[in-house]
Chain A
Amino acid sequence: MTFKLSSSPHQHAQRSTSDLMRLVIFCTLPGLLVQTWLFGWGTLIHLVLAIVVAVVTEAAILELRKRNFEVAIKDSSAILTAVLLALSIPPLAPWWISVIGAFFAIAIVKQLYGGLGFNLFNPAMAAYVVLLISFPVQMTSWLPPESLTQYQANFADALSVIFTGFSNDGYSLQQLQLGIDGHTMATPLDQVKTNLTLGLTYNETLESPVFAGGLGVGWLWVNLAFLAGGIILLLQKAISWHIPVGMLGAIAIMALVFNGIDGDQYASPLFHLFSGGIMLGAFFIATDPVSAATTNQGRIVFGACVGFWIFIIRVFGGYPDAIAFAVIIMNMAVPLIDYYCRPRTYGHARSGK
């Protein structure tokens, strides 16, 4: 009889990489549902599109690389990338936006670098940046929350807009974006940016219908939903607290300082924390283990720097939101951060490595 030989440890924790990925996907559900509820079916349609394209691309490239794609597909990492991308895309963007994005994320950003674990950049965010730069109009055409729009779009309308550009009633995307008063509704972040350049103060801007109680209508709920999902991840120990806390802390501190200096020019910390995709970014995107820093100390630095860049680009840059840019910038700094942020090994002098 042959004995089974294996190296210690013989026992293993039950959580596998695919479990981890699936857990993260499940934790995006609250945010996904709230976003769908508030902004229409478009997100779900893009989600399905992106997942299909991502999985097919992953399988095809693994086949080309002569790897066993069945095992790789099962780890659900491609699905997670697709989910994160779909959540970032405006709900009624044309179908090819998510197709191009998902393909780029998997083929170029992930597989060309060697597949899972080897990509330098966060695939979803790299794809998002490519889309934003290539198709700025489509990528910034966010609908206002349904409660504020003149025309309501049901599932069939959303499907029609995404694939044909017009709803079943013949409304274009631009018409769908119109508010009750007939004005095109921008996202809160856009609104703040535009109005500040128009010479309005921050507080005057808040009187716009896209705001309620000093925060963007709808976006507060989306962010709260992602925060809830993120807290589940933390409790499940799927992610460590270092990156979200570093990132949110940096944004809050910078917003507090600038708002304190000039409240007319700079938005409040609360507005910054609950606008755009901050919570999605803090708990689901910046925490992508592959492209983030790996040591706890490094994670705090990484998170804080991401927060710093988000604030800088939002306030001083040309784009209303900047999670993707900030994450990509800091992805490049990860090797450096990891090199300098090493824990002190047991029994070694404190100053030494």
Chain B
Amino acid sequence: MKSIIDRIRQGRLWGFPGGIHPPARKSLSNQSSIEELPLPERLYISVKQHIGVAGRVCVEEGQSVLKGQALTRSANPFAVPVHAPTSGIIAGVINHPSAHPSALPEKAIELIPDGKGQWAELSPLPNYTAVAKSKLIETICAAGVAGMGGAGFPTHIKASPKKDIEFLIINGVECEPYITADDRLMREYAWHIRQGIDVLCHLLSPEYVVIAIEDNKPEAIEAMKVACNDVEQYVVSAIPTQYPAGGEKQLIQTLTGKEVPKNGLPSDVGIVMHNVGTCYAVADAVFNGKPLIQRVVTVTGESLQQPKNVWAAIGTPVSHLLSECGYDSAKQSQPNIIMGGPMMGFALADDSIPVVKITNCILAPSAEEIPANPVEQACIRCGACADACPVSLLPQQLYWYSKANDFEKANEYNLFDCIECGACAYVCPSDIPLVHYYRTTKADIRAEEEEKHLADKARQRFEARNERLIRDQHERDEKHRKAAEARKQSMQSDGGSAKDKIAAALARAKAKKQASADESANQSANVTTAPPAENSTTETASISPTAPAADDKKQKVAAAIARAKAKKLANAAAADKPSTDAGEDNAASPKPVATDAVTENADVTPDNNIAESTDTTSDDKKQRVAQAVARAKAKRAERQQADNNNADTDNEDAGETQKVETQELDKDAIKKQRVAAAIAKAKARKLAQQNQDNENNS
């Protein structure tokens, strides 16, 4: 860094690639000092003057304002207020053609000057080193200072960097032809600018301050040298005259050999750059408390009788400036007014467009000076554009890709690094408006990206919605599944009690049957009834704690079974009547069967009750086996009964039914249940038939 400043001091600069030397034509306007102009009849102060956001208008129609009074206000850090350039009355907040190539109407405050020029109360900060930096920055912001060299970036943001600053570069290069506003300002207000530099230096604390001025402005260089000679840290550097040496990136490269990284800021390489006009405005704001309400504008061109630099109030319509400088439209074949310089300025569509904070020049060239648009010819691939490009692009390739709308390729060839200086189009022998192609393509790419962004968002929204729907569906399914499970679970736990109920019902039915049998049967019958009675009590006991709603079907089945059994029993009882021997048999025969059943079931459970409670875990196969066994037994019992020719099967049957019911408990055995039920019913019927036959026989 020391070596850099040494080189700058010795004038051994780095330079930048490309560049052009258009005729400067600065002597048209730089011969006389900056003039004060009479105010126009109306001022149109654009609410949005620069990069960033517009503030909120805080005055209303008919309100009288004082000179320097803030007209807008905003809490946004990227907004700086605009002020009344003079005292007067607000005629309204209107839409007025904007100082933009499109000339689209934008919000502007129309002010009718009252001619008094009465200042609002000003609050200067002469002792700026004594106050907090934040207060100083606030003052600069409140004065509406924005970069006066080019894009109008709010100065207070550039004056409060986040990084360490090695070089504060003060840009007095003014490389564009015709423009002499900064030249005159430096010549006439060098000390004022120096004071502004002091303030910025205080805020930024750079190691060195370099004031760069093109060597075609010797008077300005001399003036700045005189103004800055007492500070060792300040270096005034004369740089070679070459367009676009005053571009921020080019000036940094020329002075330091450093390059601002792509998508980076100068502060990334320890540099901050301010224009001399900005320094003047900062000094005005801090030492005089005056907001930025006027600026130096070069009004020049050969169709003016008195081209000169003027102090133009912000909001002055261009027509006023032109008429004050003796505009002679006869010298132009068609009205042609350019705001800015001939390289980067834009043609005005309307001469009522007002001066804004970044307006440095109004150019009214004669027809000979800037002839009508030349006819575009075929590109001969001469490469003069590439030789002129200060950022080492390949303008020719960019032109082909722009023309072909090949955005991807244009991007690949770094279209967005183009600074639109116009050097390529200036040198093009085929008069191809290269920059225009680039601007169009850039706009198209931006539009496409915006569209893509929106489409992406829409897609994301759509996908998110789809996901949400699927998720919801899953959740619903899961809920249903859980509910179903829970139902199943409860059904199973309920199932036990349901079966209990069934058993209880059966028991009750049996008890009834037994009772009726007892009625008709002898003493011996008491022996028979004893075990079922026991059974029933235990079963009833097991029902009582949980007596929930059992499955209807099962209940019905059970009821049907119960009915069938009841009928059968009734028949049996009727059949029993004749012989008490049968009662003996009855009592004797069921026992082994029951024991059998118990032993069969013992594989699974030793007892019906226990079987009921554990049936969920019991093995299907075993149950089936058990069922088969039960059926086999039933058959055998049938045969026995047939042999016995007696109703002794009743008890056994009841036992079997009970066993069948045990199977019913199985969660998977609904079908089997039904089959069993059907079998039971069939058996019951058969038995009833047999009994009937027996009865008839007997």
A residues near B (Cβ < 8 Å) are 1-13, 15-17, 19-20, 71, 75, 77, 115-118, 240, 289-290, 292, 294-296, 299, 338, 342-348, 353
Task: Spot the interface stretch: B370-378, B447-455, B594-602.
Answer: B370-378
Which of B343, B380, B413 sits near A289, CB closer than 8 Å? Answer: B380
Do A71 and B375 touch (CB < 8 A)? yes
- Distance from B154 Cβ to chain A, minimum over Cβ atoms (Å): 23
Q: Determine the chain B residues whose CB is within 8 A of the CB of A9 once the complex forms.
A: 342-344, 422-423, 425-426, 435
Instruction: Give the docked Cα–Cα distance between A12 and B20 (Å).
Output: 11
Known contacts A9-B426, A346-B259: A294-B414 contact under CB 8 Å: no
In the complex, A17→B393 CA distance in Å?
21
Complex A-B: 12 CB contacts under 8 Å: A3-B337, A3-B351, A5-B349, A9-B425, A10-B345, A10-B347, A20-B429, A71-B377, A294-B396, A345-B391, A345-B392, A353-B412
Chain B residue at smallest Cβ distance from A293: B383
Q: Which residues from chain A contact B348 at a C-beta distance below 8 Å?
A: 3
Q: Is the CB of B392 within 8 A of A117?
A: no
6 residue pairs, one from A and one from B, having the closest CB atoms: A9-B422, A346-B391, A7-B436, A117-B378, A289-B382, A4-B336
Question: 8 Å CB contacts to A: which residues of B399-446?
Answer: 412-414, 417, 420, 422-423, 425-431, 433, 435-436, 439
Find out whether the CB atom of A17 lies under 8 angstroms from the CB atom of B377: yes
A11–B430 CB distance below 8 A: no
A20:B342 contact, CB within 8 angstroms: no
Q: How far is the CA of A228 from the CA of B382 in the complex (A)?
A: 21
User: Roughly how many angstroms separate A11 CA and B378 CA in the complex, as a whole number?
Assistant: 19
Complex Cα distance, B370 from A118, in Å, reads 30
Chain A residues, CB < 8 A from B335: 1-4
Closest CB of chain B to A124's CB: distance in Å?
15
Of the residues B334, B338, B394, B431, contact of A294 by C-beta under 8 Å: B394
Most chain B beta carbons < 10 A, residue from A11, A12, A17, A240? A11
Contacts of B261 in A (CB 8 A): 347
B347 contacts which of A4, A12, A118, A345 (Cβ < 8 Å)? A4
Q: Which residue of B lies closest to A343 (CB)?
A: B392
Please pick, from B101, B334, B414, the residue contacting A4 in the complex, using a CB distance under 8 A: B334
Q: Is B587 an interface residue, CB under 8 A from the partner?
A: no
**Are the C-beta atoms of B381 and A289 separated by less than 8 Å?**
yes
Task: Identify the closest chain B residue to A298 (Cβ).
Answer: B383
Identify 5 new A-B residue pairs, CB closer than 8 A, beyond the known A3-B336, A8-B343.
Answer: A5-B347, A10-B343, A12-B374, A16-B377, A296-B383
Q: Which residues of A contact B394 (CB under 8 A)?
A: 294-295, 342-343
| Residues of chain B within 8 A of A345, CB atoms compared | 262, 391-393, 414, 417
Task: Report whether B383 and A289 are in contact in the complex, using a CB–CB cutoff of 8 Å.
Answer: yes
- Is there an interface contact between A12 and B383, defined as CB atoms closer than 8 Å? no
Judge whether B692 is part of the interface by a CB distance below 8 angstroms: no
Most buried by B among A10, A71, A296: A10
Which residue, B337, B392, B428, has most C-beta atoms of chain A within 10 A? B392
Contact, CB under 8 Å: A240 / B380:
no
A15 to B387, CA, bound (A): 15
Answer yes or no: B379 CB below 8 A from chain A CBs. yes
Residues of A within 8 A of B334 (CB): 2-4
Q: Residues of B contacting A17 with CB < 8 Å?
A: 377-378, 380, 382, 429-430
Q: Assess the A347–B262 pair: CB atoms within 8 A.
A: yes
The docked-state distance in angstroms from the alpha carbon of A20 to that of B427 is 12
Taking a contact as CB atoms under 8 Å apart, the answer to whether A11 and B383 are in contact is: no
| Contact across chains for A346 and B346 when beta carbons are under 8 A apart | no
How many residues from B make CB contacts under 8 Å with A? Answer: 73
Write the nearest CB–CB distance from A211 to chain B, whole angstroms.
39
Whole-angstrom distance between the Cβ of A34 and the nearest chain B Cβ: 27
Q: Which residue of B lies closest to A334 (CB)?
A: B381
Residues of B within 8 A of A (CB): 16-17, 20, 22-23, 101, 177, 249, 253, 259-262, 264, 329, 332, 334-338, 340, 342-351, 363, 365, 370, 372-375, 377-383, 386-387, 390-394, 396-397, 412-414, 417, 420, 422-423, 425-431, 433, 435-436, 439
B380 and A116 form a contact (CB under 8 A)? yes
Q: Quick one: given A3-B336, A9-B342, A9-B343, are A348 and B382 in contact (CB under 8 Å)?
A: no
| Contact flag A118-B430 (CB < 8 Å), given A3-B347, A7-B436, A343-B394 | no
A6, B351: Cα distance in complex, Å: 15
In whole angstroms, what is the CA distance A5 to B428 when docked?
20
Q: CB distance B349 to A115 under 8 Å? A: no
The answer to whether A347 and B259 have CB atoms under 8 Å apart is yes
**Assembled-state Cα–Cα distance A338/B22 (Å):** 29
**Shortest Cβ gap from A74 to chain B (Å):** 10
Tell me how far the C-beta of B270 lies from the nearest C-beta in chain A, rounded to whole angstroms: 15
Q: Given A3-B336, A7-B436, verify A290-B343 contact (CB < 8 Å).
A: no
CB distance from B247 to the nearest CB of A (A): 10
Provided the pairs A4-B335, A116-B380, A117-B378 are in contact, do residues A348 and B347 lie with their beta carbons within 8 angstroms?
no
| Chain B contacts for A3, CB-based, 8 A | 334-337, 347-351
Cα A71 to Cα B375 in complex, Å, equals 10
Q: How far is the CA of A346 from the CA of B249 in the complex (A)?
A: 9
Which single member of A8, A15, A20, A348 contacts B417 (CB below 8 Å)? A348
Query: Residue on A with the closest CB to B437?
Result: A7
Check A347–B336 contact: CB distance below 8 A.
no
Contact of A20 among B17, B382, B431 (CB under 8 A): B382
For the complex, give the distance between the alpha carbons of A20 and B429 in Å. 8
Provided the pairs A17-B430, A343-B394, A347-B264 are in contact, do residues A294 and B386 lie with their beta carbons within 8 angstroms? yes
Q: Which residues of the partner chain A approach B386 to less than 8 Å between Cβ atoms?
A: 294-296, 343
Report the minimal beta-carbon distance from A84 to chain B, rounded to whole angstroms: 15
Q: How far is the CB of A45 from chain B (nearest CB, A)?
A: 29
B439→A7 contact, CB < 8 A: yes
How long is the Cα–Cα vector from A77 to B380 in the complex, in angstroms? Answer: 10
Of B340, B380, B430, most A-chain CB atoms within 10 Å: B380
Minimum CB distance partner of A20 in chain B: B429
In the complex, what residues of B have CB within 8 A of residue A295's CB? 383, 386, 394
**B429 and A15 within 8 A (CB):** yes
A240 to B18, CA, bound (A): 13
A292 vs B372: C-alpha distance in the bound complex, in angstroms?
A: 32
Given contact pairs A17-B429, A342-B394, A345-B391, A8 touches B344 in the complex (Cβ within 8 A)? yes
Alpha-carbon separation in the docked complex, A267 to B260 (Å)? 52
CA distance A304 to B351 in the complex (A): 56
Q: Which residues of A contact B262 (CB under 8 A)?
A: 345, 347-348
A333 CB, nearest partner CB in chain B, Å? 15
- In the assembled complex, which residues on chain A have CB atoms less than 8 Å from the CB atom of B439? 7
A223 to B526, CA, bound (A): 146
Neighbouring A residues of B397 by C-beta, 8 Å = 294, 338
Shortest distance in angstroms between B349's beta carbon and chain A's nearest beta carbon? 5
> Could you tell me the distance between the alpha carbons of A9 and B386 in the complex, rounded to whole angstroms?
16
Residue of A nearest to B390 (CB): A346
B349 contact set on A, CB distance < 8 A: 3, 5
Instruction: Give A12 Cβ to nearest chain B Cβ, in Å.
Output: 6
Q: Which of A7, A77, A117 contacts B435 (CB 8 A)?
A: A7
Contact A115 B259 (CB under 8 A): no
Bound state CA distance, A324 and B356, in angstroms? 60
| Cβ distance B465 to chain A, nearest Cβ, rounded Å | 40
Contacting residues, chain B, for A116 (C-beta < 8 A) = 377-378, 380
How near does chain B come to A159, taking the closest CB pair, in angstroms?
35
With a cutoff of 8 Å between Cβ atoms, the chain B residues found around residue A7 in the complex are 101, 346-347, 433, 435-436, 439
Q: A8-B344, A353-B412 are in contact. Are A117 and B264 (CB under 8 A)?
A: no
Query: Across the interface, do B379 and A117 meet the contact criterion of CB distance under 8 Å?
Result: yes
The residues of B that contact A292 with a CB separation of less than 8 Å are: 381
Question: Is A344's CB under 8 angstroms from B392's CB?
Answer: yes
For A2, A7, A117, the residue with the greatest tally of chain B CB atoms inside 10 Å of its CB is A7
Tell whether, in the assembled complex, residue A13 and residue B427 are in contact, meaning their CB atoms are under 8 Å apart: yes
- Interface contact B392-A346, CB-CB below 8 Å: yes
Contact status of A347 and B249, CB under 8 A, knowing A11-B343, A289-B382: yes
Q: In the complex, what distance in Å separates the CA atom of A75 from the CA atom of B348?
A: 33
Identify which of B372, B373, B382, B430 gathers the most chain A CB atoms within 10 Å of its CB.
B382
Residues of A within 8 A of B382 (CB): 17, 20, 289
- Which A residues are in CB contact (< 8 Å) with B377? 16-17, 71, 75, 116
